[in-house]
């Protein structure tokens, strides 16, 4: 066979041979942050945990001492167990807060109802947290009867202002909450979306309350500081990653 022809074939084969590809480099593993903990950056920014994932320290039943048996620590969550025979009722933080940024996660049982309240005043003259403290609604929108009532759906400023858009996840899935209280100006965030904004302690606020079910309680929405409350509405609910950062 012609040597020149053989040389040409070899050259073609080399030209067609795929080049060796460099080994694929995997991306660095994303840092996994444990539940109910703070990163060093969060600590430096002034965040503090309101739930350590292991105990009910820092919480108490409204107008009572300690936390009742219905509120349990369950697999790193603060869980209201509606099957408990005793120890029911709303729980509140031992500490009070005024200007703050609050973040937490919640999930609700099917057809369940609960709520997150703030500026709650603890006193024997008030039988319930909702007599003084406004509420961000926690609800299964797909099933609970309250979902048929305007201003009673998940993320709403309960009975006062509806969400601008609905971002709540189905029952049994975790929802992320951010509540900002800044000198009377408030923001509600649900799953990364700003859903409600309002200002308290103004004539407009008073008119809003006067048109709601809260008009029967003169002390509702008057306090500028108070306790954070988690509501026992008779349904199973779970909370975790509860943290707060005081604002100047």
Quick: pLDDT tens for 153-164. 999 999 999 999
Measured in residues, the chain has a length of 248
126-150 exposure pattern, b = at least 16 Cβ within 10 A, e = fewer: bebbbbbbbbbbbbbbebbebbeee
Average pLDDT over residues 191-204: 98
Average pLDDT over residues 99-122: 98
d(CA 106, CA 113): 11
pLDDT (tens digit, 9 = 90+) per residue, 44-57?
999 999 999 999 99
d(CA 94, CA 122): 10
Backbone torsion region of residue 159, taken as left when φ is above 0, otherwise alpha when ψ lies between -120 and 50, otherwise beta: left
pTM here is 0.86
* Helix (H) or strand (E) segment spanning residue 166: none
Closest listed residue to residue 104, CA positions, set 200, 228, 234, 233: 228
Average pLDDT over residues 90-105: 98
**pLDDT at 32 exceeding the cut of 60:** no
- What tokens does 18 get? 């795929």
Average pLDDT over residues 98-118: 98
- What tokens does 90 get? 């709303």
Residue 179's contacts (CB-CB under 8 Å, 6 or more residues apart) are 101, 102, 103, 116, 118, 136, 186, 187, 188, 189
- Does residue 211 contact residue 224 with C-beta atoms inside 8 Å? no
pLDDT at position 34: 87
Instruction: Please give the DSSP secondary-structure letter assigned to residue 216.
Output: G
How distant is the alpha carbon of residue 94 from its chain centre? 19
**Can you give the residue ranges of every domain in the chain?**
61-246
Alpha helices (runs of H) in the chain, residue ranges in sequence order: 3-16, 40-45, 203-210
Average pLDDT over residues 64-91: 96
Radius of gyration of the chain measured on its C-alpha atoms: 27
For 71, phi and psi rounded to 5 degrees?
A: -95, 115
- What tokens does 181 get? 């209280």
- Does residue 71 contact residue 80 with C-beta atoms inside 8 Å? yes
Average pLDDT over residues 64-92: 96
**pLDDT at 77 exceeding the cut of 60:** yes
Residue whose tokens read 């954070």: 228
CATH placement of domain 61-246: 2.60.120.560
d(CA 237, CA 44): 31
Residue 140's contacts (CB-CB under 8 Å, 6 or more residues apart) are 108, 109, 110, 111, 112, 113, 147, 154, 170, 171
pLDDT at position 169: 98
């Amino acid at each position: 066979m012609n040597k020149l022809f053989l040389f040409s074939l070899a050259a073609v084969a080399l030209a067609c041979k795929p080049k060796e590809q460099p080994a694929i480099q995997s991306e660095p593993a994303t840092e996994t942050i444990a539940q109910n903990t703070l990163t060093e950056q969060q600590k430096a920014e002034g965040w503090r945990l309101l739930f350590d994932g292991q105990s009910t320290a820092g919480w108490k039943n409204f107008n009572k001492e300690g936390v009742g048996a219905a509120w349990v620590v369950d697999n790193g969550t603060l869980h209201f167990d509606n099957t408990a025979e005793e120890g029911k009722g709303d729980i509140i933080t031992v500490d009070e807060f005024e200007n703050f940024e609050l973040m937490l996660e919640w999930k609700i049982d099917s057809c369940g109802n609960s709520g997150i309240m703030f500026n709650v005043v603890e006193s024997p003259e008030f039988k319930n947290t909702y007599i003084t403290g406004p509420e961000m609604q926690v609800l299964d929108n797909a099933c609970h009867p309250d979902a048929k009532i305007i201003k009673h759906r998940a993320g709403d400023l309960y009975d006062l202002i509806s969400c601008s858009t609905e971002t709540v996840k189905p029952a049994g899935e975790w929802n992320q909450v951010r509540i900002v209280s800044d000198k009377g100006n408030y923001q509600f965030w649900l799953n990364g979306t700003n859903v409600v904004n309002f200002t308290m302690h103004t004539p407009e606020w008073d008119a809003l309350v006067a048109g709601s079910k809260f008009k029967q309680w003169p002390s509702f929405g008057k306090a500028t500081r108070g306790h954070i409350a988690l509501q026992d509405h008779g349904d199973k609910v779970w909370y975790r990653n509860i943290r707060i950062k005081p604002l100047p």
